[in-house]
Structure 1
Amino acid sequence: MNNLIGTIPASLGNLSSISYLFHFSNKLSGSIAQEFGIVSSLSDLKLSFYNFLCISFASIGNLTKITCFRLFKQFYSIEEVRNISKPTHWSLPNNVFLGGSLEKFTANNNHFIGSIPKSMRNCTSLIRVRLDGNQLIGNIGESFGVYPHLIYMDLSYNRLYGELSTNWGQCQNLTSLKISNNDISGRLPPRLGEAIQLHVLNLSSNKLNGEIPKELGKLTFLLDLYLDNNKFYGPIRFNLGMLSNLEQLNLAKNSLSGLIPDLGNCKKLWMLKLSNNHLSKYIPLQIGNLQYLQYLDLSKNFLTGEIPQQLGDLKMLEILNLSQCTLW
């Protein structure tokens, strides 16, 4: 942290051999990307914005060697946050994905509006993308392609709509897919079960409907599965017993029906939320074998019968909610 002030010198554009440029924790202003965009040798560009008024992305497309591009908002005190009565909004630079070598793009928790650049669909070099916490809008089924190297994608907390493409199932190296809190609708594509390296799948708080495809049972490396607050219905048909690495399962706030599935092989499970559904009959005795379970919420279902004594064996249990069921 240097706390430099003033304007960014145009002479930065003369640094013809520079590869890495980090602009953090300063109060420099000016046409940031315009000056940096003519440095074609740049491979890693990380910017935090203090002055929100002089940002130009016109030259970003010239960075044909860039592999990592990160954009951050920056405030220096609570008072400075309070003084911003009308936050500035930007659109994502349309040409940022044109270079063909971009691997990491981070622009989360900014005020970005508008659509996702069309050039992103064909940027097959992508490895890690964070666009969460913006106000991006557009059809998610048309904006993304197949990314053979992609490991991490977070699009949560935006305004994306439409149906999920089957392309996600072809991202064979994808370990984390987070698209929660958007307006995605339609059915969950069964081919998503082909993304067999997935560790985290979070599609909560959307408008997804239909039955949860049984193909999700193929995701044997899955640690966290969040499908809560959607419009899924029908029985839970996918084989949860195959997900032996599962640690967090949240299917709450849907219209799922039928029996609670066998969870006996989910030995690592510590959070289980199935509340606000139409699940019926009894609580499976096998839940008492989940020795790491800390959070169990089965409330607001049509469960009946006796509460299993085996729940008393859950030594690590901290939260138990069985309310608004017909249990004794």
Structure 2
Amino acid sequence: MVEIIKCGLGVDSNWTSPLVSLDVSYNTKFHGSIPASMGNLTSMKILNLYGARFNGPIPQTLGDLDRLAELLLGLNQLSGTVNFEMFARVKNLQYLSLGENFLTISLQSKGNCTFPRLKALMLPSCNLTKFPYFLTSSAELDTLQLSRNKIEGRIPEFFWRVWRDTLADLDLSFNSIT
């Protein structure tokens, strides 16, 4: 059974529950930090905080939600540096949105992150300077938004090889790509 809660929850709560889906998108009554205790929601499959008014850093504990399929944190006022490796254990991740915040995404040159089920990755305005290395493992990707970053150079050859049959939406605007 999927539980969906829209609005009405205090963000200062100590989050423990068998909750599977939480959607407070576009609810401007939410503000403050995302509680680190949200990492206790180990049954969570969908966490949609898109367009709310959360601020501060993304808690490292969200990387403990290994059942997540959708993590939508875009269009908030989140800040700080996000070590992308925190999501390495989230192998079922299909939709990830972190853009339109005040974040800097930190990517290792080579790491052990793979996202084999990833269908949509939205990282606009995340201060990226290069294409994420893990994209080669995301053969099901159909949406990739990396606009308004600081990516320079050529589009990697693997873009056309890996997503030849899947990629439908590609936004690389406002970078320095040749």
TM-score by length of 1: 0.49
Q: How does 1:278-297 map onto structure 2 within 5 Å?
A: 278-297=126-145
Are residues 268 and 178 of structure 1, via their aligned partners in 2, closer, same or farther at CA, if it must alter by over 3 Å?
same
Q: Aligned match of 1:248 in 95, 112, 133?
A: 95
* Cα distance between partner residues in 2 of 1:327 and 1:291: 22
Identical pairs, percent = 27
Question: Residue 16 of structure 2 aligns with which residue?
Answer: 170
Contact 2:120 2:143 in 1 (8 A): yes
Q: Is the 8 A contact 1:258 1:278 kept in 2?
A: yes
- Pair 1:302-2:153 in alignment: no
Is 1:229 the equivalent of 2:78?
A: no
Give runs of aligned pairs for residues 143-162 of structure 1, distance below 5 A.
151-155=2-6
What's the counterpart of residue 54 of structure 2? Answer: 208
Cα distance in 1 between the residues matched to 2:100 and 2:24: 17
Corresponding pairs, count: 172
Q: 1:191 to 1:279 in 2, by over 3 A?
A: same
- Code of the aligned partner of 1:271: A
Q: CA deviation at 1:187?
A: 0.5
> 1:212 Cα deviation (Å)?
0.4
- The verdict on how the C-alpha distance between 1:279 and 1:260 changes in structure 2, with shifts beyond 3 A counting, is farther
1:217 to 2:68 alignment: no
Q: Does 1:273 align with 2:122?
A: yes
Counterpart in the other structure of 1:187 = 33
Question: Secondary structure of the residue that 1:242 maps to in structure 2?
Answer: coil
TM-superposed CA distance for 1:237, in Å, is 2.9
* Distance (Å, rounded) in 2 between the aligned partners of 1:263 and 1:314: 20
CA distance in 1, matches of 2:112, 2:148: 20
Asked whether the 8 Å contact 1:163–1:187 carries over to 2, the reply is no
Q: CA deviation at 1:258?
A: 3.8
Report the Cα distance in structure 2 between the residues aligned to 1:263 and 1:326, rounded to whole angstroms.
Answer: 27
- 1:198-231 residue CA offsets vs partner (Å, 9 max, x unmatched): 0000011111111101110100000011111100
Q: CA RMSD in A?
A: 2.1
**1:110-149 → structure 2 map (5 Å cutoff):** none
Runs of at least 5 residues in structure 2 that lack an aligned partner in the other structure: none
Q: Structure 1's 278 and 252: CA in aligned 2 closer, same or farther, altered over 3 A?
A: closer
Shift in CA distance, 258/181, structure 1 to aligned 2, threshold 3 Å: closer
3-state DSSP of counterpart to 1:201:
strand
SS for the counterpart of 2:159 is helix
Q: Which has the higher contact order (CA 8 A, sep 6+)?
A: 2
What is the letter of the counterpart of residue 120 of structure 2? M
**Contact 2:100–2:126, Cα closer than 8 Å, also in 1:** no
Q: Which amino acid aligns with 1:324?
A: F
What does 1:36-51 correspond to in 2, within 5 Å?
Answer: none
- Could you list the runs of 5+ residues in structure 1 that have no partner in the other structure? 1-127, 129-150
